[in-house]
């Protein structure tokens, strides 16, 4: 299970992103990733960076492509944009994901 979130102070300044990954359900062991998302930005950008970091971390460690990963995020605009597919992305981070 993967949880990701992003935020910005005063909606456009000091953006940050965080990710928590539980590799084995039910165990206390987890991995945390915190990333600065820029001096100026938006909550949407911070959410997209959090999602990108989550996908990068999971893809680096998983060797079995048949393993399912459940990603939890609270940004409806970011999730809707990603659901459109790679050719519909209007932001560089969305294209990477």
Report pLDDT digits (tens) over 32-85: 999 887 787 888 888 888 888 888 888 888 777 677 778 888 888 888 887 887
83 within some domain: no
86 within some domain: no
Here the tokens at position 38 are 């820029």
Distance of alpha carbon 25 from alpha carbon 76, whole angstroms: 25
pLDDT reported for residue 20:
92
pLDDT reported for residue 19:
93
Here the tokens at position 86 are 């790679």
CB neighbours of 25 closer than 8 A, spacing ≥ 6? 1
63 within some domain: yes
- CA torsion 85-91-32-74 (nearest 10°) is -70
Distance of alpha carbon 81 from alpha carbon 48, whole angstroms: 10
pLDDT reported for residue 18:
92
91 — pLDDT class (breaks 50, 70, 90): low
Query: Number of folded domains in the chain?
Result: 1
pLDDT reported for residue 89:
66
Domain that holds residue 32: 2-76
């Amino acid at each position: 299970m993967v949880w990701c979130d992003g935020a910005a102070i005063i909606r456009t300044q000091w953006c940050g992103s965080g990710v928590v990954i539980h590799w084995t359900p039910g165990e206390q062991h987890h991995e945390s990733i915190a990333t600065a998302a820029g001096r100026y930005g938006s909550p949407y950008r911070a959410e997209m960076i959090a999602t990108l970091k989550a996908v990068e971390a999971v893809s680096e460690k998983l060797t079995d492509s048949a393993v399912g990963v459940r990603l939890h995020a609270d940004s409806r605009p970011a999730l809707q944009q990603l659901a459109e597919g790679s050719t519909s992305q209007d932001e560089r981070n969305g294209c990477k994901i």
